[in-house]
């Protein structure tokens, strides 16, 4: 493989790893918010004693699922770096650089887009117009 090909593959897997981590955090945070909202609501859900138990079980499933996905991607990325025909130091630097860049871009995106989405959601709530809510 050429250096360009290996850089693209390693960078792609590194960004998959960042994506899995960001998704994991978002799903966990969303589930925790839902759990907090449900604490007083005793609606019965299928297969569980109540809605709170259902949300807790789903949160546990999300956490282990994303943990295993992240672990798998770390192992895959490590294997790609080690099997590369280029030097391990160079490919490890590319992988770490891609992860750091992906995390930085994620933080900036969340800081910029988050307030905009919040504004749209508040405006939709004031107008009681569910069509004005931002896309999920």
Q: Which residues contact 55 (CB under 8 A, 6 or more apart)?
A: 31, 34, 35, 38
* pLDDT of 49: 65
Please tell me the distance from the alpha carbon of residue 50 to that of residue 38, in angstroms, as a whole number.
10
Higher local confidence (pLDDT), 46 or 118: 118
- pLDDT tens per residue, range 5-44: 888 888 888 888 888 887 777 777 777 777 666 665 544 4
Please tell me the distance from the alpha carbon of residue 89 to that of residue 80, in angstroms, as a whole number.
12
Distances (CA, A) of 73 to 16, 17, 56, 78, 81: 7, 6, 26, 8, 12
* pLDDT of 12: 82
90: enclosing H helix or E strand: helix 88-127
Smallest CA-to-CA distance from 14 within 82, 130, 89, 100 is with 100
- pLDDT tens per residue, range 69-126: 888 888 888 888 888 888 999 999 999 999 999 889 988 988 888 888 788 878 877 8
Predicted confidence (pLDDT) at residue 132 exceeds the cutoff of 80: no
């Amino acid at each position: 493989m050429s250096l360009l090909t290996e850089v693209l593959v390693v960078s792609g897997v590194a960004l998959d790893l960042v994506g899995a981590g960001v998704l994991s955090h978002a799903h966990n945070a969303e589930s925790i918010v839902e759990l907090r909202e449900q604490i007083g609501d005793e609606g019965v859900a299928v297969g569980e004693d109540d809605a709170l138990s259902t949300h807790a079980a789903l949160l546990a499933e999300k956490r282990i699922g994303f943990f295993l996905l992240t672990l798998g991607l770390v192992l895959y990325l490590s294997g790609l770096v080690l099997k590369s025909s280029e030097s391990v130091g160079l490919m490890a630097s590319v992988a770490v650089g891609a992860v750091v860049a992906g995390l930085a871009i994620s933080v900036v995106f969340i800081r910029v887009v988050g307030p905009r989405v919040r504004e749209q959601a508040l405006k939709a709530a004031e107008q009681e117009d569910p069509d004005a809510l931002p896309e999920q």
